[in-house]
Every structure is written in structure tokens, then in C-alpha cells.
């Protein structure tokens, strides 16, 4: 197998405009492409029937995410954050220079900060906390310290 490069991470959303505002305005991603998807090929690929979706690709720091808004069939799930030990994608992580300022900015953009997850590691001079996007996808904020990931 010859892998050419990383492409993107897909995130299913319940309200495209709300999620676009969050990822673009609060997290600094920029829109790079949009497409409408329907028909037999995506139904086969996605394992769903009657697919009609809008996909918006956003990019930041060379990382591309795809927001998937399903007109049909509608999204599934409660929007509550999944447990971190659930199989599959657990979170997106962003490095910030000022954790308190990042928390305030996300809250003003409507994000829910999971304050019970906030930590500080004096040895690494690094703090972290989880927030969730409008649909419950975890976003980890890591204050710059000596550890680089």
C-alpha cells in the first residue's frame, strides 16, 4: 500500500451554520471547499440510504476537517460528549498560549467547557482542559509548556 498523504477528519454536525461559526470564528479554521453529496456512490461508500448531505472542508495549520451535515438521513446521537475510552476518534487537540483566554473566547462563542477536566502539570508547565463543540465533539486545549505533542 502506498499512502500519499493525510486527507481530513470528518465530523457529523446537526446545524451546519452553528458548527461553521464555531470552527471558523472560535477556532480559526478557514473554509476551503464545499460540496453537495447525494446518490448511489455516496450511499455505497457511507453505508446509508437516501444520502443527501452538505460537506464543508475547513483547514488550519495544515489540518483539514470536513463538517458533514446530513439532510437525509438525519444525524444520530444525543450530542453529549462520548466517553474518552469509547472506540474511535476521541477528540481534536489545539495548543494555546493562554488557557484562561482560550476558555473565555470559546465560552463567548457558545462552547461548553468541561471544567472538571481542567488540569495543571507544574513539571511540564502545561495546563489542559476539554471543551465540546455544539454537537459534543471534544476539543482539547493545551497551554504551551515544555511538552510538545
User: Across the chain, what does the average pLDDT equal?
Assistant: 91
Q: What is the CATH number of the domain that holds 45?
A: 3.10.180.10
Instruction: Provide mean pLDDT across the span 107-126.
Output: 89
Q: Cβ neighbours of residue 11 under 8 Å, at least 6 residues apart?
A: 19, 65, 66, 67, 68, 133, 135, 137
Q: Is residue 41 part of a domain?
A: yes
Beta strands in 14-50 (DSSP E): 30-38
Q: Is residue 106 part of a domain?
A: yes
pLDDT band, residue 147 (cuts 50/70/90): low
126 in the same domain as 98 = yes
Instruction: Provide mean pLDDT across the span 107-130.
Output: 90
Q: Is residue 24 part of a domain?
A: yes
pLDDT band, residue 4 (cuts 50/70/90): confident
Q: Is residue 55 part of a domain?
A: yes
23 in the same domain as 54 = yes
Q: Answer whether 126's CB lies under 8 Å from 142's CB.
A: yes
Q: Is residue 102 part of a domain?
A: yes
Q: Is residue 109 part of a domain?
A: yes
pLDDT at 148 over 80: no
Residue 18: which domain range?
A: 9-72
Predicted TM-score (pTM) of the model is 0.89
Give pLDDT, residue 87: 83
Domain end among 42, 72, 102: 72
Q: Is residue 19 part of a domain?
A: yes
Q: Is residue 149 part of a domain?
A: no
Scored b (16 or more CB within 10 A) or e, 73-84 reads: eeeeeeeebbee
Distance CA 126, CA 120 (A): 6
pLDDT at 145 over 70: no
Over residues 18-62, the pLDDT tens digits come to 999 999 999 999 999 999 999 999 899 999 999 999 999 999 999
Q: How many domains does the chain have?
A: 2
Q: Answer whether 43's CB lies under 8 Å from 49's CB.
A: yes
pLDDT at 146 over 60: no
Share of the chain above pLDDT 90, in %: 74
Amino acid at each position: 500500500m502506498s499512502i500519499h498523504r493525510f486527507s481530513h477528519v470528518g465530523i457529523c454536525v446537526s446545524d451546519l451554520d452553528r458548527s461553521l461559526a464555531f470552527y471558523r470564528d472560535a477556532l480559526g479554521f478557514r473554509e476551503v471547499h464545499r460540496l453537495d453529496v447525494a446518490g448511489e456512490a455516496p450511499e455505497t461508500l457511507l453505508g446509508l440510504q437516501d444520502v443527501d448531505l452538505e460537506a464543508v472542508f475547513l483547514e488550519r495549520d495544515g489540518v483539514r476537517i470536513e463538517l458533514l451535515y446530513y439532510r437525509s438521513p438525519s444525524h444520530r446521537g444525543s450530542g453529549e460528549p462520548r466517553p474518552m475510552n469509547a472506540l474511535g476518534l476521541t477528540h481534536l487537540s489545539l495548543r494555546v498560549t493562554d488557557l484562561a483566554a482560550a476558555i473565555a473566547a470559546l465560552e463567548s462563542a457558545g462552547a461548553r467547557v468541561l471544567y472538571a477536566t481542567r488540569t495543571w502539570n507544574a513539571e511540564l508547565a502545561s495546563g489542559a482542559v476539554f471543551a465540546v463543540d455544539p454537537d459534543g465533539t471534544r476539543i482539547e486545549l493545551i497551554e504551551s509548556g515544555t511538552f510538545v505533542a
